[in-house]
Structures are given as C-alpha cells and as structure tokens.
Chains A and B, each alone.
Chain A
Amino acid sequence: DGGITQSPKYLFRKEGQNVTLSCEQNLNHDAMYWYRQDPGQGLRLIYYSQIVNDFQKGDIAEGYSVSREKKESFPLTVTSAQKNPTAFYLCASSFGTHQETQYFGPGTRLLVL
C-alpha cells in the first residue's frame, strides 16, 4: 500500500533526552513536512523539505532538528532544548510545495516523563 508511515505511535521522553520520530513515505513525493498539534489547537509547521538534502524552518523550529538524506525519509529530532515537547506530531508529504495536496501520516504522540 502507498502512503506515509510514522513510528512509533506513542513515545516517551525523559527530561534532557533527545528523541527521534520517524516518517517514511513511498508516494514518490518530493516535499515533506513536520507539524505539531497541541490539544484543541490547529497544526503548526515545524520544518519542511522541498527536496533531498535541503530543508527549511517553519514557524516553530526552535528545539527541533531534521535531516533529509533520502527522498523517502524525513526524521524529526526533538532535542532537550525543546522545553515543552508534549504534543501530537504529524508528518505530511506532497509532490511539490505549490498548491499540491498534502497527505498526512497517522501521527506520533510524544509524552514527557
């Protein structure tokens, strides 16, 4: 089946720990995105990548890092610098960034212990 997968579904982080969220797509999409969603709120853009080996900061990039070494993969690292990491993280992809429809993965819920 074609689509976007995110793992794990739930992730627990200890104080001061870095954690990495996985996002993989087999849709042959060029662009990929990471969003954060807090309870009762809309989505906010963290990072996006239009092409392999290139990525740009979104609206709330502080405390996060990404890489785009392969077209299919766009992992997000939540660093210890992110002071309020508890949220629902969503990955998306699209063929391009100009009006193309974005397709979303199932999400990863990150909780801080």
Chain B
Amino acid sequence: DAKTTQPPSMDCAEGRAANLPCNHSTISGNEYVYWYRQIHSQGPQYIIHGLKNNETNEMASLIITEDRKSSTLILPHATLRDTAVYYCIVRVSGYGGSQGNLIFGKGTKLSVKP
C-alpha cells in the first residue's frame, strides 16, 4: 500500500501557482519524498525529490514540513500542459529486495483551466 495520502483532484487557473499537498505521517527518517506526474496515456515523468530540506528545480518546488509528515509540490506558473495526475511517493530505503522500488498510489488529478 502507498504510504501517502493525496486529494483525488484539484483545479488551478492557468498562470497561477498550483499547490499540491501530500500527507506522509508515517515517513521514516531516511525515506525520501518523490514526486512524479503522468500525462494521460504516457509514462510517468520525474519532477523532484527531497529528504528534509526544501528543493527547487526548473519544474517545481518541494516544501517539506519540519516534522516531515507532509509536503507540498508547487508549480509556480501552471500551464495547460501541466494537466496530469501527480503522484507523491515515499521511497522505501535500502538496497536489495523490493526496498528500493516506488509504490504508486492513485495520485492527484490536476486540471489546469484557461
């Protein structure tokens, strides 16, 4: 089972910031938070990941609360092409077995509207 909780859907106006929340209250100290997105009928696309510090790249920013029990993905200026399902994933740590593998839940369907 996924270790994260996300709202099933959100809307955002084009050009505005999209803030996508994720709860991961049982996260362990050495587990990372990953965000992927999946545009309809395509493979998932990596967006960003972090451990405890806030992170920013050319696609988005990731804000992780101090207690690490929740995080927010921010798309600063959403466009119509950002319409997709966004997955928040807590990465189980460690080598070997299935510990390194991603566990995808149902994600948040973000609809960017003109």
Contacts and interface: CB of A to CB of B under 8 A. Distances in A.
Interface of A: 4, 6, 31, 33, 35, 40-45, 48, 56, 58-59, 88, 90, 92, 96-107, 109
B41 A96 contact: no
A56 B98 contact: yes
A104 B44 CA distance: 6
B15 interface: no
A53 to B, nearest CB: 17
Interface in B2-36: 2, 32, 34
Interface of B: 2, 32, 34, 41-46, 49, 87, 91, 93-107
A106 B44 CA distance: 8
B98 A58 contact: yes
B45 A48 contact: no
A103 B87 CA distance: 14
30 contacts: A4-B43, A31-B100, A33-B101, A35-B104, A40-B106, A41-B106, A42-B107, A43-B104, A44-B104, A58-B98, A90-B43, A92-B43, A96-B95, A96-B100, A97-B95, A97-B96, A97-B99, A98-B94, A98-B100, A99-B91, A100-B100, A101-B49, A102-B46, A104-B43, A104-B45, A105-B43, A106-B42, A106-B43, A107-B41, A107-B42
A92 B106 CA distance: 18
Contacts of A102: 46, 102
A20 B50 CA distance: 36
